[in-house]
Chain A
Amino acid sequence: MRAAELDDLTEADVERVGTPIRRIDALDKVTGRARYSADVSLPGQLVGVIVRSERPHATIASIDISAARSVEGVVVVVIGDDVTDYRWYEDDEPLLPPVGGTVRFIGDDIAVVVADTESIARRAAALVEVAYDDLAVMTDVERADDEDAPTLLGNEDIAVDEEGRGDVETAFDRADIVVEGSFRTPIAVHNSMEPHGGVADWRGDQVDIYTSTQGINDVREQLAERLGVEHSHVRVVCEYMGGGFGAKQVPWKPTMLAVLASKITGAPVKVMNDRRSENLAAGKRNATIQHVRIGAKSDGTVIGIDAEIDTEMGAYSVPGEAAAVEGPYLYLYRCDDVRVRTRRIRSNLGPAVAFRGPGYLESTFVLESLMDELAKKLGIDPIELRRRNHAGSDQQDDIPWSHPEGILRSYERVEEASNWVEAFEREPSRRVRRGRGFAAHDWLAAKAMPPGHATVEFNFDGSVHIGLSSQDLGTGTRTVLSQVAADAMGIDMEHIRLSLGDTSTGPPAPTSAGSTTVPTMSPAVRAAAVAAVADLLDAAAEHLDVDRSTLTFDGSAVTSSDPEVDDQPLAELCTDLSPRVVHGWGSKEQTPDDVSPRAQGSAEAEVEVDLDTGEVRVTRVVVGPDCGRILNQRLADSQVLGGVTQGIGFALTERQIVDHRLGAVMNPDLNEYLLPTVSDTCEIVHAALDIPDLNANVIGAKGIGELPLLPVPAAIANAVHDAIGLRFRELPITRRRVLDALSERDAAAANSNDEKESA
């Protein structure tokens, strides 16, 4: 059954959906029973360790593997010259550069040493001798336009990608006020608990791959094509994933190297990144430099938005990096004249990849900082300013948003939950200043990423199996899809087993990215469940030899309106129907094209700034994500906790530090890459909306992953401005930046006093 044939889900249809039940794999996770890719241990399994470039840009003069190979326990050392058939990245560069080939960042993959144990492999990897001929290096993309900037792969002709509408120049002529600034956002690293990689196990001409990924089907298809084998010869498993945040939405080299090493050795091989590799070579959020101006009328009506954006994308091109950095400028506010010019610039750093709200987070910080500035300059309440510029439709494609008022409901809920209109104490002590800030956000991906398919079968005892080949990133996909199926069939969840995380357990499902899994898979699962119930009634009618229209199913028995016909308890009926397997198939193949499905929201943040020490402490964050229908409040709250925490990190602590002279990342570890700790978090309030968006899909659920992150850094930066009157146009807002800005202001004030006195 196609999801398009389903009736919209109404309140009468839901019983388990919407309840805050505990995730069904909670105990497995906290007791260590859940098996992650890094936990996989097969008989005879070998371990591969990757040898990485020590130079940011160089030609490989020679590779000497003799010392490494002579270490007892080393099985094979694979270098580029051994695997010349395989290409990688969007650039189709060699998987491993051969001698004479090029390495393009510190950490670029050169070889893999396979040994009996990890310790042997690690020791031998250190003995691989690589000689380099250095090439000119550029890690600072602000040098890209310099005369002497080296030409890097993909930088030969840096294109300007222009999007927008109307005529920006004349719009600014009509503006009463213009706010503008140059902003910088840092490279941020996902640093998931579980690194990238996996275990590969060739048996004959088939390979099983256990890998930490957000897209088991995508890994299967891409690796099969690179290996030149049929899709059916590759099975990919990811039962549990220890964090992905976008970095695992594409296959990466460690998994491919495990596959090749297993093929070469004939044994299962595990290759997992270490923490340094995660920080250097496993994806990151692009750094951006954004020059943006906004023109408005004196009543706050925005009439022109003009953005020039450079993004740093690393040495190679990976799908999904900074996917939509232009999005917030194009979609969040009503505005006839918008221009966004974006350049994606290569550097000698590791490649960028999608990271929770890719592109959107970076430009939401900028747009919402400027909107705050506009509100302050015009003396308009920041929330009121957003209301005045409400869009309600997709102005690029001229179609309405799926829920045109959704973001307005978010403003209301956040305004109420944060006591926005009440008095706020800004000077609690001599040295502490308090402030509060607001920010809104758009998100584009509520429309789902079909095709998504599911099967439902009744076992002969009446229990139910649901098969799909989606994956659970840790967000609770298993749980919410089981809730959806249980309601569709009227069967309690304890009688339902849902299999996912294995390409052999169900029909195709999309990669889990962009908060699209729920909007894609929940309609598919409901359709399969409805189809299975229909098949049950068909089978029962045939079996009982009664008119199908007299039968109904209430979750425990098939009953007939004909009093002559006995009730058929489900278990007995399924046994009687044996060997016929009652089943259903469901699919989500289309997305609406008459509306623009969007998932938007807003946040309020409160901070305390210590004038003596420059400390910024976030004391509370309220978020109101319009994720449509909430399938499970407890799991939605979990997404809010994680998203807000990452927002605090992006605003205050996280950045990859690069020495541009050396082309080196100076903090490729968790000591110095400062992820926020529990002590950095604060009271986090989920001002839940729970408004089904039935224009987006029949379930009305839109996914929540990105939403509680997107507005948070801007809300925090705006709160800092509210507290101390200083606007930070570069993240993170560190002690150094706060203290330097306070000192500069004090010095400027002293100067102007001097001038007044001398005048």
Chain B
Amino acid sequence: MSLNPIAERYTRPDDLAGVELDENSSYFAGGTDMIPLQRAGVTSFVALHDVKSTDLGRAIELVDDHWRIGALATLSDLEDHEGLADDIVAIREAMRQVATRQIRNRATIGGNLLQRPRCSYFRDASIDCWMKGGSDCPANGGLTEHLGVVPTGDATPCVAVQPSDLASVLVMARASVEISSTSGETRHVDVADLLAVPTISRRSLNVLEHGEVIRSIRLPVGTPGSRSTYRKAMDRAVWQFALVGLAATVTLAGDGLVSEASLVAAGVGAVPHALAASVDALIGKPLDATTIEAVATAAVDGLEPLADNRYKLALLQGLVRQVLAD
């Protein structure tokens, strides 16, 4: 049996310090995205550096008032961690709806946040597209059923969505990432800022510079008395990227009114989409049918469907209703 090489050169360093990362090389961890990209010729890195033997770590630890999760923690690690699930159950719920258990056993939390777009035009190496350096977006006038409904303004013609379910949960939970640069400096960036609408000078769904790595994820513990959840809509029961997903957390005060809430949608925009108008309609209100309908109505505030994806608005509203009613 012979394996197809995914790059001309493969290394598995123990220490990132010694790695020279030029434009033609890249890091990878689980490889669940990188290997298909290389095989299909969508990316063509000459050298790939496997970071699984480095000190990035995969531990999930409670440190004071937050969780520290090593970037190499697999999605299965997140799914199986009892303490994390007791605190923020949305993480376990989201993980159980990601791909398949085999893929979750391999995919890492760091890599999950850095996935390339799942847009079919991007994924076909023979099709020219803006994200791959082209001048225009072939989805414009094409098939848009799975693409975005959040307008991106003038920054980009790309209408791909952030594919990660986890990203929406992490934004909901106000998580941040620890990033180390090539020179060894460390900085902390909110996940909400790490993931960004692409621009002409940065054709990517995140702001990580080439050569930087995510070392760990920092996740504040859940607010006492809060409840969280993640709901995902797919065309089959499992193993598809979200048509629309919704991460939600709600805290009810003693008077039965909502004191704190965060609703973040997946599958609708280039970044996890915080439903600000819905949260405004929720805070200070009882969680009754009138409130829920107002929150659902507000959920599509500012959304602009493309030719084939108006259904995503109804779907998002439906998920809002379900999440709040249950």
Measured between alpha carbons, how far is A679 from B124 in the docked complex, in Å?
A: 29
Which of A106, A612, A657 has the largest number of chain B CB atoms within 10 A?
A: A612
Query: Is chain B's interface secondary structure helix, strand, loop, or mixed overall?
Result: loop
Interface status of B19 (Cβ within 8 A of chain A): no
Residue pair A677, B238 in contact (C-beta under 8 Å): yes
Question: Are B120 and A672 in contact, CB atoms less than 8 angstroms apart?
Answer: yes
Q: Are A739 and B238 in contact (CB under 8 A)?
A: no
Are A736 and B236 in contact (CB-based, < 8 A)?
no
Q: How many residues of B contact A (CB 8 A)?
A: 36
A735 and B236 within 8 A (CB): no
Query: How many contacts A-B (CB < 8 Å)?
Result: 95
Per-residue interface assignment for chain B, residues 61 to 93, with 1 indicating a CB less than 8 Å from any chain A CB and 0 otherwise: 000000000000000000000000000000000
Asked whether, in the complex, the Cβ of B314 is within 8 Å of the Cβ of A652, the reply is no
Which residues of A, 83-125, contact B by the 8 Å Cβ criterion?
A: 106, 117-119, 122-123
B311 touches A126 (CB 8 A): no
B2 touches A118 (CB 8 A): yes
Task: Say yes or no: B235 contacts A54, CB within 8 Å.
Answer: no
**Chain A hits for B41, CB < 8 A:** 126
Whether B322 sits at the interface, judged by CB under 8 Å, is: yes
Bitwise, A633-676 to B at CB < 8 A (1) or not (0) is: 00000000000000000001100010101101011000010101
User: Is residue A740 within 8 Å, beta carbon to beta carbon, of the partner chain?
Assistant: yes
Please pick, from A47, A106, A614, the residue contacting B311 in the complex, using a CB distance under 8 A. Answer: A614
Interface status of A680 (Cβ within 8 A of chain B): yes
Q: In the complex the two chains form, is A614's CB within 8 Å of B2's CB?
A: no
A244 to B99, CA, bound (A): 26
Q: Decide if A192 is an interface residue (CB 8 Å cutoff).
A: no
Contacts of A118 in B (CB 8 A): 2, 4
With known contacts A118-B4, A612-B318, A740-B310, A666–B237 Cβ distance under 8 A: no
A659 to B314, alpha carbons, bound, how many Å? 25
User: B284 at the A/B interface (Cβ < 8 Å)?
Assistant: no
Whether the Cβ atoms of A666 and B121 lie closer than 8 Å is: yes
Q: A118-B4, A613-B322, A614-B318 are contacts. A740–B311 as well, Cβ < 8 Å? A: yes
Asked if B240 and A674 make an inter-chain contact with CB atoms under 8 angstroms apart, the answer reads: yes
A34 within 8 Å of B (CB atoms):
no
Q: Are A667 and B120 in contact (CB under 8 A)?
A: yes
- B151 on the A face (CB < 8 A): no
Docked pose: A122 CA to B235 CA in angstroms: 33
How far is A47 from B4 in the complex, measured between Cα atoms in Å?
A: 12
User: Roughly how many angstroms separate A611 CA and B234 CA in the complex, as a whole number?
Assistant: 15
A666 touching B143 in the complex, CB below 8 Å, given contacts A431-B321, A736-B308: yes
B residues within 8 A CB of A739?
311, 314-315, 318
Are A652 and B236 closer than 8 Å at their CB atoms? yes
Contact with B along A602-615 (1 / 0, CB 8 A): 00000000111111
How long is the Cα–Cα vector from A21 to B236 in the complex, in angstroms?
A: 34
Q: Which of B127, B142, B235, B317 contacts A734 (CB 8 A)?
A: B235
Q: Which residues of B contact A732 (CB under 8 A)?
A: 235
Distance, CA A736 to CA B318, complexed state (A): 13
Taken residue by residue from 275 to 314, chain B's Cβ proximity to chain A (1 for < 8 Å, 0 otherwise) reads as 0000000000000000000000000000000001111001
Contacts of B309 in A (CB 8 A): 736
Q: A615 and B233 in contact (CB under 8 A), knowing A119-B5, A610-B318?
A: yes
User: Chain A's nearest CB lies how many Å from the CB of B43?
Assistant: 14
Shortest Cβ gap from B68 to chain A (Å): 32
Of B5, B127, B234, B315, most buried by chain A (CB within 10 Å of CB) is B315
State whether the Cβ of A541 lies closer than 8 Å to any Cβ in chain B: no
Beyond A662-B127, A736-B311, A740-B311, whether A679 also contacts B4 by CB under 8 A is no
Which of A123, A666, A734 counts the most chain B CB atoms within 10 A?
A666
- Interchain CA distance A42-B243 in the complex, whole Å: 46
A743 within 8 A of B: yes
Chain A residues with Cβ under 8 A from B235's Cβ?
Answer: 652-653, 674, 732, 734-735
Tell me whether A742 is interfacial, beta carbon within 8 Å.
Answer: yes
- B319 close to A612 (CB less than 8 A): yes
Asked if residues B315 and A735 are in contact (CB atoms below 8 Å), the reply is yes
Inter-chain contact B142/A679, CB cutoff 8 Å? no
421-469 of chain A: CB within 8 A of chain B? 430-431
Q: A657 — which chain B residues lie within 8 A by C-beta?
A: 120, 143
Complex Cα gap A564–B3 (Å): 72
Would A676 and B236 count as touching, CB distance under 8 A? yes
Given A674-B235, A677-B239, A680-B236, also A614-B314 (CB < 8 A): yes
A755 and B126 alpha carbons, distance in the complex (Å)? 52
* Cα(A122)–Cα(B233), bound, Å: 37
> B3 to chain A: which residues have CB within 8 Å?
119
Contact (Cβ within 8 A) A735 B233: yes
Which of B311, B315, B317 has the most chain A CB within a 10 Å cutoff?
B311
Instruction: Kindly list chain A residues whose C-beta atoms are within 8 Å of the C-beta of B315.
Output: 613-614, 735, 739
**With A and B bound together, what is the CA distance between A652 and B235 in angstroms?**
8
Min Cβ gap B311→A in Å is: 4
Most chain A CB inside 10 Å of its own CB: which residue of B124, B314, B321: B314
Q: Which residues of chain A from 10 to 37 have any CB-CB distance to chain B below 8 Å in the complex?
A: none
Q: Which of A123, A613, A674 contacts B318 (CB 8 A)?
A: A613
A612 contacts which of B121, B124, B141, B321 (Cβ < 8 Å)? B321
Q: How many whole Å from A720's CB to the nearest CB in chain B?
A: 14
Given contacts A612-B321, A614-B314, contact A122 B239 (CB under 8 A): no
Contact A736 B145 (CB under 8 A): yes
Complex interface residues of chain B between 244 and 266 (CB less than 8 A to chain A): none
| Chain A residues numbered 672-719 whose CB sits less than 8 Å from any CB in chain B | 672, 674, 676-677, 679-680
Using known A-B contacts A119-B3, A735-B311, determine if residue A679 contacts B121 with beta carbons closer than 8 Å.
no
In residues 201-250 of chain B, which contact A (Cβ within 8 Å)? 233-240, 243
Q: Nearest chain-A residue to B126 (Cβ)? A: A54
Q: Give the residues from 528 to 580 in chain A that come closer than 8 angstroms, CB to CB, to chain B.
A: none
Cβ of B31 under 8 Å from chain A: no
Closest to B146 in A: A672
Which residues of B are at the interface with A, using a C-beta cutoff of 8 A?
2-5, 41, 120-121, 124, 126-127, 138, 141-143, 145, 233-240, 243, 308-311, 314-315, 317-319, 321-322, 325
Seed contacts A430-B325, A612-B319, A740-B311; 9 additional CB < 8 Å A-B pairs = A119-B3, A431-B322, A613-B315, A614-B311, A617-B237, A652-B235, A652-B236, A664-B124, A676-B236
23 CB < 8 A contacts A-B: A106-B126, A118-B2, A119-B4, A122-B4, A430-B325, A612-B321, A613-B319, A613-B322, A653-B236, A659-B138, A661-B141, A662-B138, A664-B126, A664-B127, A666-B120, A667-B120, A674-B235, A674-B236, A734-B235, A735-B234, A736-B309, A739-B314, A740-B310
